[in-house]
Amino acid sequence: MPANVTGNNPISNSGENLTLLNSSVINNCGVGLFVGTGLLVDFNVVNTSFDFNGSWAIQNGTTSSQNAVSLVNGYIVQPHNWIQNFGHMTLDGTYATDGSDSGTRGYLIDNENESFTVTGGEFFNGGSGTTLNSAGVGSVWLGALVTPSLSGPVVGLIDRFGDAGFASLTASSAVVSGAVQGTVLSGDILNQNTADHLAGTSNCSSGTKTISFGTAYGYQPVILLFDETTPGGVKLSAKSTSSFTATCSEASDVFDWIVIGNPY
């Protein structure tokens, strides 16, 4: 599908809402479905298979594009060159297999745009290359089975097995991985990756106590002190981005402290 039906005319596009339904695209010497780089062109590919084409099964553009391809319940069986995307692309319930020659190019899927989302489906790579181009742009994968593994630039992942590895934040059956608001808030802003970085209870010794942060703050934090032994008996005598010193009115006052990181 060329980008424009009249050559270089930027306002004349090939078409919108194009559908390829219940079809087979097989044994082409080149690309199975090639969508030229352009604007306002979108393909809905439903219940369609791409088998043993000489180049990419689907190639959405060659440079950055707004063209969109939606592959629903698709089937791809090719030893190499599954998908290349420079536009917007979604895969829903797609089954891709073979991949026996993935080692020649080094990968089977080359995503070069921020808009590439996979929902469900199964991807079986039988070769020595990776499923994703490691030098490509990050994509989002939700509950897909990828063998032998999903490696490469992935910016969002929901693991179908629920072992995404943030059990410290929520239940052990959590299924979301990557940076979530809980880790960003407690780790990056509040600096509470381990105990005694955000708050603690300490004792003065000879009327003074210095607390050193395990990780220095980027900017001077706010520090609050509360004396448990003598009301109003503790004050802040020195502070920096890496530590603070408290002075107590009694030699061994117990005091509580809170540090609030300031990211700006």
Secondary structure (DSSP) of 95-146: EEEE-TTHHHHSEEEEE-SSEEEEES-EEE--SSSEEE-TTS--EEEES-EE
Is 151 part of a structural domain of the chain? Answer: yes
Q: Are residues 171 and 196 in the same domain?
A: no
Q: Are residues 98 and 32 in the same domain?
A: yes
pLDDT, residue 174, reads: 43
Is 122 part of a structural domain of the chain? Answer: yes
The yes-or-no verdict on residue 163 having pLDDT over 70 is no
Is 223 part of a structural domain of the chain? Answer: yes
pLDDT, residue 169, reads: 37
Q: Stretch 86-110: mean pLDDT, rounded? A: 96
Q: Are 233 and 172 in contact (CB under 8 A)?
A: no
**Of 181 and 22, the one with more pLDDT:** 22
pLDDT band at 4 (very low <50, low <70, confident <90, very high): low
Cα distance between residue 54 and residue 25, in whole Å: 11
Looking at residue 219, which CATH number applies to its domain? 2.60.40.2080
Helix, strand, coil abundance in the chain, percent, nearest 5: 5, 40, 55
Q: Are residues 135 and 50 in the same domain?
A: yes
Q: pTM of the full predicted structure? A: 0.61
Containing domain of residue 157, as a range? 18-178
Last-in-domain residue among 178, 208, 223: 178
pLDDT, residue 170, reads: 42
Q: Are residues 44 and 152 in the same domain?
A: yes
Mean pLDDT of the chain: 84
pLDDT, residue 215, reads: 79
pLDDT band at 175 (very low <50, low <70, confident <90, very high): very low
Q: Are residues 103 and 45 in the same domain?
A: yes
* Residue range 24-69, pLDDT digits in tens: 999 999 999 999 887 778 899 999 999 999 999 999 999 998 889 9
* Residue range 231-245, pLDDT digits in tens: 999 999 999 988 999
CA dihedral 193, 195, 201, 205 (to 10 degrees): -110
CA dihedral 168, 170, 176, 179 (to 10 degrees): -60
The yes-or-no verdict on residue 79 having pLDDT over 70 is yes
Q: Are residues 213 and 96 in the same domain?
A: no
pLDDT, residue 197, reads: 67
Is 12 part of a structural domain of the chain? Answer: no
Phi, psi of 198 (to 5 degrees): -100, -40
Is 4 part of a structural domain of the chain? Answer: no
**Of 146 and 213, the one with more pLDDT:** 146
Shortest CA distance to 257 belongs to which of 207, 197, 208, 186? 197
Separation in Å, CA 6 to CA 15, 18, 96 = 12, 18, 35
Q: Are residues 219 and 138 in the same domain?
A: no
Last-in-domain residue among 126, 146, 178: 178
Q: Are residues 155 and 42 in the same domain?
A: yes
Q: Stretch 251-256: mean pLDDT, rounded? A: 94
pLDDT, residue 62, reads: 93
Is 42 part of a structural domain of the chain? Answer: yes
Q: Which two tokens stand for residue 99?
A: 């991949």
Q: Stretch 86-109: mean pLDDT, rounded? A: 96
Cα distance between residue 37 and residue 66, in whole Å: 8
pLDDT, residue 160, reads: 66
Q: Report the share of the chain in percent with pLDDT over 90.
A: 61
Q: Are residues 76 and 200 in the same domain?
A: no
Q: How many domains does the chain have?
A: 2
The yes-or-no verdict on residue 210 having pLDDT over 80 is yes
Cα distance between residue 66 and residue 16, in whole Å: 12
Q: Are residues 168 and 242 in the same domain?
A: no
Is 82 part of a structural domain of the chain? Answer: yes
Is 57 part of a structural domain of the chain? Answer: yes
Q: Are residues 216 and 159 in the same domain?
A: no
Q: Specify which residues 4 forms β-bridges with.
A: 13
Q: Are residues 129 and 198 in the same domain?
A: no
pLDDT, residue 9, reads: 55
Last-in-domain residue among 157, 178, 199: 178
pLDDT, residue 192, reads: 53
